[in-house]
Structure 1
Amino acid sequence: MRWLLEVTRPVLRPLLRSVVCRVVSLLAGAALLALGAYAVADAAVHLSRTGAPGALRSAWAIVSAMAVLALLKAALRYAEQFLGHLVAFRALELLRAELFRALLPRAPRLSAGSRSGDLLARATKDIDRIEVFFAHTLAPAVSALVVPAAVLVVVSATTSWVVALAVLPLLAAQLVLVPALGARASVRASRAASRQRAALTHHVKDTVQAMGDIVGYGRERQRLEQLAALDANVASALRPSTTWASLRRGASQVLGLAAPVVVVAAGAGNVDSGSVSVPALAAAAAAVLRLSGTAQGAEALVSALAPALASAERVWEVVHAPVERHDGTRELSSGISHEVLWQGVSYTYPAACAALDSTSGSGSLGGSVLPGRAAPTADAGRMSRAAPAAAPALNDVSLRARAGRWTCVVGASGSGKSTLAMLVLRCEPLGPGSAQTGRVLIDGIDVRDLRTDSLYQEVALVPQHAHLFRACVADNVRLAAPSASDEEVREACRAAGVHEEVEALPHGYDTLVGERGETLSGGQRQRLALARALLARPNLLVLDELSSHLDPQTQARVRAGIRRYLPEATVVEITHQVRQSVQADHVVVLDAGKVVQEGSPSVLLEVDGPLRTLLARG
């Protein structure tokens, strides 16, 4: 709760104003109903005594006061709603911004160890529940305590302390005992329901994204059955909470309706003795009846508190997860090509990344997070699942990519090539005292000591599975340089060998790209990702399986375009297509996480070694 108050501190003042408006509005509503009851009772008393029509004239003053109170209540109600929604939308902004700020330094482990549907549920539904409690439940809860106390004081002053004392136990039960019914069970149920909702969200997300495969393999019924089972799990988890909420609401309603009866019964003797007038007793009964809805705010607080606390815990877990990638203080020199040195690097992917919730289960990986221009790839995530803890992805690897040269890292699938690329961008933590050892240096500076902004300004990664947003082609390319002109975007696409194909699209660079670039071919997606990286003009370019979807002619054209566009940049290319590596300045052959051969491709091809063996396999 302390963390929640710290994050939402900017909205506490308007929230307080909303609470004040609600309290005064409810007091005006109670006074409005009490005055109406007083006027009717007073008129009835006069009519029963005199029978003269003139007895109604005394009610006009009360009616005038009621009109003023009605206008005041309407204005206060508007102010309360305005301030409440202001708090709501601002709280959503603050909470989501806090979550995303926390995600960036934690992205590698969170995106690998958590399901993307679970993270999506935390960022949307869980924060929505916190906002509903914070902006729309807190004010009713405070007013549920303040308004009854004020009304009882007025009832005691206008009738008798006996009347106020008689109704006090009913109000106390409404405010204290009823909300306590099943409170702990509701919290447990809400926690379980939050986890089940996350699983349901992930299932729906996976189903929508893999719709083509599901239909192609005829698995629609199976996915629907799984969806129904997950939906049933959510309903089952919520059942205790909804049952207790219904019981609390019913008990609160009974107590609220019994309160005015108790007022009349307790005050009847005072009316007989003449110490309390009938109109005053009627007004007191009406005011207490009006408290029925007000006091239910305490019950609503408990009903909203359980899911809000469960959701807050889930968001808090992400925000306070261990930071495995701390920002450094040093910077890379700009405007020069950079040298990369992997020095005694060993890296072992965990057998199973620690998930945020032990009960959330395993499943497909979460979506990658894009810090700057670089992002963890789906391939890295696939390797983290496939590589067992006993088999290092990299084993004491030492190699150098010289400044301004094109270095090609080749090897069979699973040999550790992509892991090398990930470590350059700090997309996977590399720390001493664990399964990850060694250093990755750029111009002699450990990447862990570099400022993130400096690293991503100088280094760009083109992942094998780049993410394209549902936006036009130009905006997707501009992700790396939002201020780039249209001509600069076109120039980058020309260098990436995709300009002509973009121009052939229905609206050229303004053509809307489907979600994840589904409207484009695999090769087009790769080259747009390359154009995005080129647009930022990095001095160190890392290419992960750039040619996996390209034919040999296109591959040659793209490589030539990269060199024309970035003539001085250092290029590190990860590939399993050995034939293309012979065009590089330097070739490194990896096998089972170890460097087995490196050197100039012309020299390596002269000897009978791993490179020639890979080339012979095709």
Structure 2
Amino acid sequence: MNPLVRLMKLLKPQLPLMLLGTLLSIITVMANIGLLAVSGWFITIMAIGGLSGVTVNYFTPAAIIRFLAIVRTAGRYAERLLTHRATFNTLAALRYYFYTRLEPLLPYYRVNFKSADILARLQQDIDELDNFYLRVLLPTLVALFTIPLVGWGVSFISPDLALVIVGALLIVGFVLPILILLLSKKRARQQAKLSSELKIELVDGVASMRELLVYQIANQYQLSINHVSKNYHQAELHLHRLHALATALTFLAINATVFASLYLLVPLAQTGDLKPEFVASAALLILVCFETVINMPLACQILPKVHDSAARLFEIIDKPIPDVGGDTLVTTGTIEFNHLNFTYPDAHSSVLNDIDLTIEAGQKVAIIGASGAGKSTLVNLLMGFWPIPQSNQGLGSTISGNLKPGITINNIDLNDLNIESLRQHIALMSQNSHLFHATIADNLRLANPNATELDMREVCTAAGLIDFIDELENGLNTWLGETGSGLSGGQKQRLCLAQVLLRKAKVLVLDEPTKGLDRRSEKTVINSLFAQLEQSQQSLVLITHKPLMLQKMDKIIVMDEGTIVAQGDHNTLIETNDYYRTLLNYF
């Protein structure tokens, strides 16, 4: 379906407000045209009356002028109020609509989406859709309805002039804009693409500034930004030149039509077929009637941007949501990976191969391996971020007794478990956990909305953060900046750990929880964490390379290229596995 048609369907709830705003805009434009036409006629007859001494009834024209002036002023105010209200409502509805459709996709397509690209689509592209009603749809509807009305009104003065005016309005309102559209279409799409690339480059660059400086490639990055920026501004300059050309041609068309009216009407006035006061009235009417189509060139220039922005947004939300989970609630029990194989959609090679792993309730298991070994994929599958493919179910039940290949919790297949229940049962702390621009308490309540201040203090104590919080003037009510600015890297990590502990899940999945901590702080956090685990009997799945944590684990899983190559406790692996020793020495 055409993106603009889909966009129109999304705007349907705002249709009454949009139509009312359009009606008021038409009334305002016609009142403005009528005001100048009547004013020109009135000024002329008053001048003629003054020169000839003829008595003129000025009460009725003056009343009409006052009425039209009031209608124009009130109509303009009401039209602005309603059209902008419709625009703001549309903007809010579109943001909500696209966010609610995007949110379910992120667990599954997170590896395919760049955060900067998502930001560009949700901000820049939706802002571009903001122009659809106010700068594209509204001017088009006003032009379509007012051009016939203007032609009909002018026909009472001169049918020939009516044809000239309607022709000029059609040229300025449709022929010229379509020509501008054809000339600007390629550049408009190029500008939209470059704008998105520029935003992605800037966001990624700011996030990676430290690495750019450390590896001394900041100059290359700046050159790349300058190149994209230069191309973007060239495209923008081309569009501005086309807009200036359209404005100049419109100005010429208006003045040419005024001269045409004089050419047609003056001879009629000389022969007595037309009263002379209508000559001035028609000239003023022509000058203002082009208000009905003055915005059409800009509308056609904006239209490709709106189309492409809508297409980009629909492209991302149209991705299929994998059918994950069933209705069975999760209960505490053993987690088993039964000869699991997994390949990401559209990938050519398998990420996990014949994973056979058992995690008993209350057991502490570490997963280690080089980057790309499959650790994060294993965790994502356990969290239900990707469905276990049916191909795993077709491997038969002879591999491991009566268990089918896949993942089970308490002997129930993960695909049959309720996803919300699963994520209440298992809490994940990833390396890219996000902190919001809110208070420390608000960020903690995201993990558990019903948490009391005592609960929050307990988990902050376990995470080694409570001393820092008590030193703050507002304590837990201290505001954090964007992404937790105001906290050090280690403090952010401990706050994210406190969030996970506050969930009170039966299974904790922690990805490098002590990253960014010095050795003393790390030891304090580890001791507090494991003391709480012993007390709560929670299971722990840990991704880490810190020997201090590995020594406390019941079992360590060593992965390489999507395969488990060894498993056992720390002391056993140190003695028997060269790859394990190599990993510890490397990290």
**TM-score, normalised relative to structure 2:** 0.88
Q: Is 1:241 paired with 2:239?
A: yes
Superposition pairs of residues 110-189 of structure 1, within 5 angstroms = 110-157=109-156, 159-189=157-187
| CA displacement, residues 85-122 of structure 1 (integer Å, 9 cap, x when unaligned) | 11111111121122212222322564423432222111
Give yes or no for contact 1:190–1:310 (8 Å, CA) kept in 2.
Answer: no
Q: Which residue of 2 aligns with 1:522?
A: 489
Report the 3-state secondary structure (helix = DSSP H, G, I; strand = E; otherwise coil) of the residue aligned with 1:426.
Answer: coil
Q: Is 1:580 paired with 2:583?
A: no
Deviates more, 1:1-10 or 1:103-112: 103-112
Give yes or no for contact 2:120–2:196 (8 Å, CA) kept in 1.
Answer: yes
Which amino acid in the other structure matches residue 21 of structure 2? S
**Distance of 1:129 and 1:615 partners within structure 2:** 50
Report the 3-state secondary structure (helix = DSSP H, G, I; strand = E; otherwise coil) of the residue aligned with 2:105.
Answer: helix
Deviation at 1:526, TM superposition (A): 2.0
Superposition pairs of residues 170-209 of structure 1, within 5 angstroms = 170-209=168-207
**Distance of 1:574 and 1:181 partners within structure 2:** 60
Q: Is 1:337 paired with 2:328?
A: no
**Distance of 1:601 and 1:405 partners within structure 2:** 15
Q: 2:523 aligns with which of 545, 553, 556?
A: 553
Q: Which residue of 2 aligns with 1:325?
A: 322
Give yes or no for contact 1:256–1:289 (8 Å, CA) kept in 2.
Answer: yes
Which amino acid in the other structure matches residue 137 of structure 1? V
Report the 3-state secondary structure (helix = DSSP H, G, I; strand = E; otherwise coil) of the residue aligned with 1:137.
Answer: helix
Give yes or no for contact 1:340–1:400 (8 Å, CA) kept in 2.
Answer: yes
Report the 3-state secondary structure (helix = DSSP H, G, I; strand = E; otherwise coil) of the residue aligned with 1:87.
Answer: helix
**Distance of 2:129 and 2:580 partners within structure 1:** 61
| CA displacement, residues 252-280 of structure 1 (integer Å, 9 cap, x when unaligned) | 22112222322232223332343321223
**Distance of 1:175 and 1:48 partners within structure 2:** 41
**Distance of 1:13 and 1:338 partners within structure 2:** 56
Aligned residues: 570
Measured at CA, do residues 64 and 103 of structure 1 come closer, stay the same or move farther in structure 2, by a change above 3 Å? same
Q: Which runs of 5+ in 1 are unaligned?
A: 355-388
Measured at CA, do residues 170 and 307 of structure 1 come closer, stay the same or move farther in structure 2, by a change above 3 Å? same
Report the 3-state secondary structure (helix = DSSP H, G, I; strand = E; otherwise coil) of the residue aligned with 2:295.
Answer: helix
Q: Which residue of 2 aligns with 1:405?
A: 363
Give yes or no for contact 1:344–1:439 (8 Å, CA) kept in 2.
Answer: yes
Q: Which residue of 2 aligns with 1:297?
A: 295
Q: Which residue of 1 aligns with 2:377?
A: 419
Superposition pairs of residues 69-88 of structure 1, within 5 angstroms = 69-88=68-87
**Distance of 2:573 and 2:325 partners within structure 1:** 41
Report the 3-state secondary structure (helix = DSSP H, G, I; strand = E; otherwise coil) of the residue aligned with 2:45.
Answer: helix
**Distance of 1:585 and 1:221 partners within structure 2:** 48
Give yes or no for contact 1:337–1:569 (8 Å, CA) kept in 2.
Answer: no
Measured at CA, do residues 166 and 202 of structure 1 come closer, stay the same or move farther in structure 2, by a change above 3 Å? closer
Measured at CA, do residues 168 and 5 of structure 1 come closer, stay the same or move farther in structure 2, by a change above 3 Å? closer
Deviation at 1:601, TM superposition (A): 6.3
Measured at CA, do residues 9 and 339 of structure 1 come closer, stay the same or move farther in structure 2, by a change above 3 Å? farther
Q: Which residue of 2 aligns with 1:367?
A: none
Measured at CA, do residues 237 and 561 of structure 1 come closer, stay the same or move farther in structure 2, by a change above 3 Å? farther
**Distance of 1:414 and 1:393 partners within structure 2:** 9
Q: Which residue of 1 aligns with 2:399?
A: none
Superposition pairs of residues 338-417 of structure 1, within 5 angstroms = 338-348=333-343, 392-417=350-375
Give yes or no for contact 2:38–2:65 (8 Å, CA) kept in 1.
Answer: yes
Q: 1:595 aligns with which of 542, 553, 564?
A: 564
Which amino acid in the other structure matches residue 594 of structure 1? T
Measured at CA, do residues 68 and 424 of structure 1 come closer, stay the same or move farther in structure 2, by a change above 3 Å? same
Give yes or no for contact 1:466–1:525 (8 Å, CA) kept in 2.
Answer: no
Q: Is 1:6 paired with 2:9?
A: yes
Give yes or no for contact 1:197–1:234 (8 Å, CA) kept in 2.
Answer: yes
Give yes or no for contact 1:471–1:514 (8 Å, CA) kept in 2.
Answer: yes
Which amino acid in the other structure matches residue 122 of structure 1? R
Superposition pairs of residues 390-469 of structure 1, within 5 angstroms = 392-428=350-386, 430-432=388-390, 439-469=406-436
Report the 3-state secondary structure (helix = DSSP H, G, I; strand = E; otherwise coil) of the residue aligned with 2:104.
Answer: helix
**Distance of 2:324 and 2:97 partners within structure 1:** 18
Deviation at 1:78, TM superposition (A): 1.2
**Distance of 1:606 and 1:315 partners within structure 2:** 51
Q: Which residue of 1 aligns with 2:313?
A: 315
Superposition pairs of residues 46-61 of structure 1, within 5 angstroms = 46-50=49-53, 55=55, 58-61=57-60
Deviation at 1:19, TM superposition (A): 0.2
Q: Which residue of 2 aligns with 1:29?
A: 32
**Distance of 1:564 and 1:79 partners within structure 2:** 67
Deviation at 1:535, TM superposition (A): 1.4
**Distance of 1:473 and 1:444 partners within structure 2:** 39
Measured at CA, do residues 46 and 514 of structure 1 come closer, stay the same or move farther in structure 2, by a change above 3 Å? closer
Deviation at 1:143, TM superposition (A): 1.0
Report the 3-state secondary structure (helix = DSSP H, G, I; strand = E; otherwise coil) of the residue aligned with 1:234.
Answer: helix
Report the 3-state secondary structure (helix = DSSP H, G, I; strand = E; otherwise coil) of the residue aligned with 1:497.
Answer: coil
Which amino acid in the other structure matches residue 327 of structure 2? R
Give yes or no for contact 1:167–1:262 (8 Å, CA) kept in 2.
Answer: no
**Distance of 1:305 and 1:606 partners within structure 2:** 65
Q: Is 1:536 paired with 2:503?
A: yes
**TM-score, normalised relative to structure 1:** 0.84
Give yes or no for contact 1:121–1:198 (8 Å, CA) kept in 2.
Answer: yes
Report the 3-state secondary structure (helix = DSSP H, G, I; strand = E; otherwise coil) of the residue aligned with 2:373.
Answer: coil
Superposition pairs of residues 250-289 of structure 1, within 5 angstroms = 250-289=248-287
**Distance of 1:398 and 1:72 partners within structure 2:** 78
**Distance of 2:128 and 2:371 partners within structure 1:** 44
Q: Which residue of 2 aligns with 1:65?
A: 64
Q: Which residue of 1 aligns with 2:23?
A: 20
Q: Is 1:570 paired with 2:521?
A: no
Deviation at 1:31, TM superposition (A): 0.7
Measured at CA, do residues 20 and 416 of structure 1 come closer, stay the same or move farther in structure 2, by a change above 3 Å? same
Measured at CA, do residues 338 and 79 of structure 1 come closer, stay the same or move farther in structure 2, by a change above 3 Å? farther
**Distance of 2:170 and 2:15 partners within structure 1:** 28
Deviation at 1:202, TM superposition (A): 1.5
Q: Is 1:499 paired with 2:472?
A: no
| CA displacement, residues 452-485 of structure 1 (integer Å, 9 cap, x when unaligned) | 4333222210113322223332222222123423
| CA displacement, residues 137-192 of structure 1 (integer Å, 9 cap, x when unaligned) | 322221122112112111112x1322212333222212221111132332222211
Give yes or no for contact 1:341–1:440 (8 Å, CA) kept in 2.
Answer: yes
Deviation at 1:428, TM superposition (A): 4.6
Deviation at 1:38, TM superposition (A): 0.7
Which amino acid in the other structure matches residue 382 of structure 2? V
Q: How much identity, in percent, do the aligned residues show?
A: 28
Q: Which residue of 2 aligns with 1:370?
A: none
Give yes or no for contact 1:102–1:318 (8 Å, CA) kept in 2.
Answer: no
Q: 1:476 aligns with which of 440, 443, 449?
A: 443
Deviation at 1:494, TM superposition (A): 1.8
Q: Which residue of 1 aligns with 2:400?
A: none
